[in-house]
Structure 1
Amino acid sequence: MQKLAGIFALDIAAYAVMSNHYHVVLYIDAHTAKTWSDVEVIHRWQELFNTSKLAQRYIQGHTLDHGEMGKLKELIALWRERLMDISWFMRCLNESIARQANAEDNCTGRFWEGRFKSQALLDERALAACMAYVDLNPIRANMAKTPEDSDHTSIQQRIRAAISGEQPKSLLPFVGGERLNMPKGLPFQLDHYLELVDWSGRHRDLRKCGAIAENTPPILKRLGISPKHWLYLNQNFESRFKGLVGSAEAIRHACRQLDKRWVHGISDCRRYFSATPC
């Protein structure tokens, strides 16, 4: 997963690999993909698939005529688009896993039950809720007792790096709150997020909201999500939301851009991504 992310123009924000499925939160870095030279695009695509003879001749320094160069430019543009496409990333990831699994079982045929499901996270609230949901998957499944014991998760990888005062280079870093000239990364503080995940993993009974609000991590206050709604999101994110996820305003804006009139789940987004008091 992380090797593929290094080839694609995609960054991993969170992941959890379970016994029969996995979750991953991805950031599409279209800006970086557009800065790649033609040669870099070819080299990246070569790490995944065989390239055309035209591309091979080009990177070897051969001169191409006008028609050949035009055809190559079309191919490079196509490969560049695919290298920032989540569907192609998932295709490469799932196919490699399926091949390895079938080889281990000495069988052939379909490995995955169906196509992957995806949700577009439209704002900080949706991003934080989805990341925490993913990072807490092993705890919710009773496979681990604490985030640091949750094997094959981004939260465990981040905690181990944080002990040394670092952030994992293979994951999208936490860069803090919004500010001028903000670098690429997650718009939260790492210590706030780690505290939030740990706090969330300790609570399952939504009726105790009033008793835990006093210890709510600062990030919830900044995002404007009530502790009661946060705990619900934290446990039901995948089953509750489909397609676009975020505040009602963010969804309406996305609908206008996508020329869509209605989105499934907008009433839940309006309810759970608002600053409703406990």
Structure 2
Amino acid sequence: MPRPRKEQVSLSDTPYYHCISRCVRRAFLCGEDVVSGRSFEHRRQWVEDYLLKLAGIFSIDVCAFAVMSNHTHLVLHVDQQQALSWSMEEVLHRWHSLHKGTLLTQCYLNPELRPKLDAVQLQSVRDTAEIYRQRLFDLSWFMRHLNEHIAREANKEDQCTGRFWEGRFKSQALLDEAALAACMAYVDLNPIRAKIADKPETSAHTSVKQRIKQAKYAKQPKALYPFVGNPRNNMPKGLPFELKDYLALVDLTGRAIRQDKRGYISASHHSILERLNIDQSSWLTLTTGLEQQFGAVVGNCANMLLYKSEHKHQRLHGMGAAKRLLNSA
């Protein structure tokens, strides 16, 4: 039986999560349907555009994404502290960019009507704003907005009704840097594994393509969570890796996956692998089967045991994989 979402998402353990949504019916999310001959390629842009729009509204950052023919992969970072620092007015403006809100919250944001609100009405606005604030860093609310929007648009285009996605999205908590790096590479290389792209820079509707495009100009995409370098004191918000290291790692891993040769990567240690203390064959296993190797939690053995103890789980799927692949990390 699936565990409640509140038991799968624990911000005290990690702010990083891998989320997967799959279509429930034969009709494609994107790509081309060989049976009907219809092309749904344009829907990839729907997903990418709305995903990045939501990232600008919610206090949730996009670390990596890949839009596939019948499913999507996202690596997300939940920034709870940022949401808690927003003013009430900021929270209401953000929520109103998606919903109408209540009559009172609309009045509060109207300079002419706000002075007319009495103390009871103002307290009601404060209470409502706090509900909105909690939702704006809630992974389930983020995925709900994304999937409902795409489902409505797809159903409208297909001239049908009914469920478009599976009942709920799958999520995996990424407990440490090794799990985060492996999962991001796994997501970014999905089109290559599916043989719909031959290299990262040509894999459309992926985060790695956006990063490579901006890296040519020594920049990073504003819509994606940035790379800020190795962990250190007074570290700015961002991914704890060097961008150049990550892109080199994705390129090397991608070539090994496409040619199906474990020993193709150079024998010299790559900086990320060396720092995370993962050997190359283990890395390739991780980046080709992350969903199969692990369940709701991904991390090294020590972190998974700590998570298991703190959340009082009898067992965690993936403990064997953690021992084999990430025990040294």
Relative to the length of structure 1, the TM-score reads: 0.93
Paired position in structure 1 for 2:201: 148
Paired position in structure 1 for 2:54: 4
Paired position in structure 2 for 1:45: 95
Partner SS, residue 110 of structure 1: coil
1:54 to 80, 83, 104: 104
The residue type equivalent to 1:38 in the other structure is: M
Partner SS, residue 235 of structure 1: coil
Question: Partners of 2:261 and 2:204 in 1: how far apart?
Answer: 30
> Can you give the 5+ residue segments of structure 2 that lack an aligned partner in the other structure?
1-50
Please give the residue correspondences for 1:23-38 in structure 2 after superposition, counting only pairs within 5 Å: 23-38=73-88
Please give the residue correspondences for 1:20-169 in structure 2 after superposition, counting only pairs within 5 Å: 20-60=70-110, 61-169=114-222
Partner SS, residue 109 of structure 1: coil
1:196 to 243, 246, 249: 249
2:227 pairs with 1:174: yes
Paired position in structure 2 for 1:270: 323
| Partner deviation per Cα, 1:13-72 (whole Å, 9 max, x = no partner) | 000011221101000011110110001111111111121112112222234333323322
Question: Partners of 1:164 and 1:41 in 2: how far apart?
Answer: 34
Q: How far did 1:115 drift?
A: 1.5
The percent identity for this pair of structures is 50
Question: Partners of 1:113 and 1:155 in 2: how far apart?
Answer: 26
Partner SS, residue 13 of structure 1: strand
Question: Partners of 1:95 and 1:138 in 2: how far apart?
Answer: 24
2:275 pairs with 1:222: yes
Question: Partners of 1:256 and 1:72 in 2: how far apart?
Answer: 40
Question: Partners of 1:215 and 1:236 in 2: how far apart?
Answer: 24
> Can you give the 5+ residue segments of structure 1 that lack an aligned partner in the other structure?
none
Partner SS, residue 72 of structure 1: helix
Partner SS, residue 94 of structure 1: helix
Q: Say whether the 8 Å CA contact 2:293–2:318 is kept in structure 1.
A: yes
Question: Partners of 2:172 and 2:222 in 1: how far apart?
Answer: 25
Q: How far did 1:227 drift?
A: 0.5
Aligned residues: 275
Q: How far did 1:208 drift?
A: 4.0
Q: How far did 1:267 drift?
A: 2.3
2:281 pairs with 1:231: no
Question: Partners of 1:63 and 1:123 in 2: how far apart?
Answer: 51
Question: Partners of 1:99 and 1:207 in 2: how far apart?
Answer: 42
Q: Say whether the 8 Å CA contact 1:206–1:228 is kept in structure 2.
A: no
Q: Say whether the 8 Å CA contact 2:92–2:105 is kept in structure 1.
A: yes
Partner SS, residue 176 of structure 1: coil
2:68 pairs with 1:18: yes
| Partner deviation per Cα, 1:181-217 (whole Å, 9 max, x = no partner) | 00000100111101100110111478744x6451442
2:284 pairs with 1:245: no
Relative to the length of structure 2, the TM-score reads: 0.80
Q: Say whether the 8 Å CA contact 2:253–2:265 is kept in structure 1.
A: no
Partner SS, residue 232 of structure 2: coil
Q: How far did 1:261 drift?
A: 4.2
Question: For the structure 1 residues 259 and 107, does the alpha-carbon distance in structure 2 shift closer, same or farther, using more than 3 Å as the test?
Answer: same
The residue type equivalent to 2:65 in the other structure is: Y
